[in-house]
Amino acid sequence: MIHSLFLINYAGDIFLEKHWKSVISRSVCDYFFEAQEKAGEPDNVPPVIRTPHHYLINIFREKIFFVSVIQTEVPPLFVIEFLHRVAEMFQDYFGECSEAAIKDNVVIVYELLEEMLDNGFPLATESNILKELIKPPTILRSMVNTITGRGSSNLGETLPTGQLSSVPWRRVGVKYTNNEAYFDVVEEIDAILDKSGTTVFAEIQGVVDACVKLTGMPDLTLSFMNPRLLDDVSFHPCVRFKRWESEKVLSFIPPDGNFRLMSYHVNAQNLVAIPVYVKQNINFFDSGSSGRLDITVGPKQTMGKTVENVIVTIHMPKVVLSANLTATQGTYTYDPVTKILVWDIGKLTQQKLPNLKGSLSLQSGAPKPEENPSLNIDLKIQQLAISGLKVNRLDMYGEKYKPFKGVKYVTKAGKFQVRT
């Protein structure tokens, strides 16, 4: 099982280590540094690294490498999932998952890690349970601490009851004055468009995130107008899978607070609507060390909604020194160090299509770049789930009060790329 964990910052300093079994010298991280150096970009560090006596499984999150050490055969996904959980927990507890936040709360971090894993076996990884065991730092408490000059305990004194019940994700005795249940249907379009704008590949990754603040032990049922749309679904453990299989409704006793109820996947078979089109022309000339760029973005299948927050990002070839462009809408920046051109367009309107045009200057004498840079598109459409998924109704059983209910839809671009 998981033996040790090292947290390493971007500069290569090991700023935290935790061992769940015997202590492993931090020199084991040298193998990691070696791999990191070989990979160049931090994103390219292979997730599983073999060393003579151990395996290093790592993830890179928020400029921190989470490097776990294992010694025996352990499913790597198990380790990676756990590391994700650790990163999420830091985020959840400290509002951000950063080196500074971790250092600021090092004792809580240590306590959390101790609580999450016992002898390498996951113990408590549900946020609800952990928060019962170890209270997150709150502004109020730290204020009290500063005023009184003494730190009060951030540790719960009670047994984490949830861990043993048949609904381990929910505390007992939850009470609210305002009972509310909100659901966000968030869809991301992953797509590759070719030069001519034809869809090479497209799919939709969707999630239903919930914020449920309901008193007692409510039993909820959420149904969709068109559940057959979904190609693959994965659920929070609270969802009764049998009901979904037979009736395609989500029936569950919700965890308290924020959680991801389900995630789903809509495949290309259902013809994914592409909300924008991009006309682009990027040329590098054989002589004169220069190039031209001309990009126009326009709305396509938007179902009558407005496309907002449109950002075009282009990773330019190394030889591009600077860009001299004019944007008819929005602003552009070119970072000559990272070679990234960002054009922040904002809202798309039908009347006037935003255009970015101008020249690129290349390093003189360098050969014309071989590769064509791809465009990465970001966008957002409010009040629309691009797959057409719609929530039909939400019913509550088991409690008598009447909750506030709400559903929100939003569509975003995921990995949305246009080749040139």
Partner 1 sequence: MTDSKYFTTTKKGEIFELKAELNSDKKEKKKEAVKKVIASMTVGKDVSALFPDVVNCMQTDNLELKKLVYLYLMNYAKSQPDMAIMAVNTFVKDCEDPNPLIRALAVRTMGCIRVDKITEYLCEPLRKCLKDEDPYVRKTAAVCVAKLHDINAQLVEDQGFLDTLKDLISDSNPMVVANAVAALSEIAESHPNSNLLDLNPQTINKLLTALNECTEWGQIFILDCLANYTPRDDRESQSICERVTPRLSHANSAVVLSAVKVLMKFMEMLPKDLDYYGTLLKKLAPPLVTLLSAEPELQYVALRNINLIVQKRPEILKHEMKVFFVKYNDPIYVKLEKLDIMIRLASQANIAQVLAELKEYATEVDVDFVRKAVRAIGRCAIKVEQSAERCVSTLLDLIQTKVNYVVQEAIVVIKDIFRKYPNKYESVIATLCENLDSLDEPEARAAMIWIVGEYAERIDNADELLESFLEGFHDESTQVQLQLLTAIVKLFLKKPTETQELVQQVLSLATQDSDNPDLRDRGYIYWRLLSTDPVAAKEVVLAEKPLISEETDLIEPTLLDELICHIGTLASVYHKPPSAFVEGSRGVQHKRLPARTGSGESAESPDVGQSVSVSEAPPAVIPSQGDLLGDLLNLDLAPPTTNVPVVPSSMQMGAMDLLGGGLDSLMGDDSETLGGDLGGSPAMGVAVGGAPVTMPAVGGGLGDLFDLGGGVGMTSGFYSPPKTVWLPAMKAKGLEISGTFVRRGGVINVDLSLTNKAMSVMTDFAIQFNKNSFGLSPAGPLQVLTPLSPNQTVEVSLPLGTTGPVMKMEPLNNLQVAVKNNIDVFYFSCHYPISLLFVEDGKMDRQVFLATWKDIPSENEAQFQIKDCHLSSDAASNKLQGSNIFTVAKRTVEVQDMLYQSIKLTNGIWVLAELRIQTGNPSYTLSVKCRAPEVAQFVYQSYELILKN
Segment lying near partner 1 (by CB under 8 A), choices 218-226, 255-263, 304-312, 347-355: 255-263
| Residues in 168-187 that interact with partner 1 by CB under 8 A | 168
Segment lying near partner 1 (by CB under 8 A), choices 51-59, 176-184, 296-304, 395-403: 51-59
The first and second tokens of residue 301, run together, are 């299948």
Q: Pick the closer one to partner 1 by CB: 125 or 306.
A: 125
Task: Indicate which single residue of 11, 27, 73, 338 sits in contact with partner 1 (rule: CB under 8 A).
Answer: 73
Binding of partner 1 by 107 (CB under 8 A): yes
Segment lying near partner 1 (by CB under 8 A), choices 106-114, 174-182, 278-286, 323-331: 106-114
| Residues in 390-419 that interact with partner 1 by CB under 8 A | 414-415, 417, 419
Site pattern 339..378 for partner 1 (x: CB under 8 A): -------------------------------xxx-x-x--
Task: Indicate which single residue of 12, 95, 151, 336 sits in contact with partner 1 (rule: CB under 8 A).
Answer: 151
Segment lying near partner 1 (by CB under 8 A), choices 19-27, 277-285, 295-303, 346-354: 19-27
Distance between CA atoms of residues 125 and 137, nearest Å = 18
Beta bridge mates, 134: 155
| Residues in 190-229 that interact with partner 1 by CB under 8 A | 190, 192, 194, 200-201, 203, 205
Q: Smallest gap, in angstroms, from Cβ of residue 97 to partner 1?
A: 14
Binding of partner 1 by 281 (CB under 8 A): no
Instruction: Evaluate whether 180 touches 403 at the Cβ level (below 8 Å).
Output: yes
Task: Indicate which single residue of 33, 78, 176, 182 sits in contact with partner 1 (rule: CB under 8 A).
Answer: 78
Binding of partner 1 by 294 (CB under 8 A): no
* One-letter amino acid for residue 121 of the chain: F
Task: Indicate which single residue of 68, 105, 128, 387 sits in contact with partner 1 (rule: CB under 8 A).
Answer: 105
Task: Indicate which single residue of 30, 96, 104, 180 sits in contact with partner 1 (rule: CB under 8 A).
Answer: 104
Distance between CA atoms of residues 148 and 253, nearest Å = 41
Segment lying near partner 1 (by CB under 8 A), choices 146-154, 220-228, 299-307, 358-366: 146-154
Binding of partner 1 by 92 (CB under 8 A): no
Segment lying near partner 1 (by CB under 8 A), choices 265-273, 321-329, 386-394, 403-411: 265-273
Task: Indicate which single residue of 10, 12, 30, 46 sits in contact with partner 1 (rule: CB under 8 A).
Answer: 46
Q: Smallest gap, in angstroms, from Cβ of residue 133 to partner 1?
A: 9
Beta bridge mates, 293: 282, 358
Which of 52, 77, 74, 56 has the alpha carbon at shortest distance from 65?
56
Binding of partner 1 by 21 (CB under 8 A): yes
Binding of partner 1 by 19 (CB under 8 A): yes
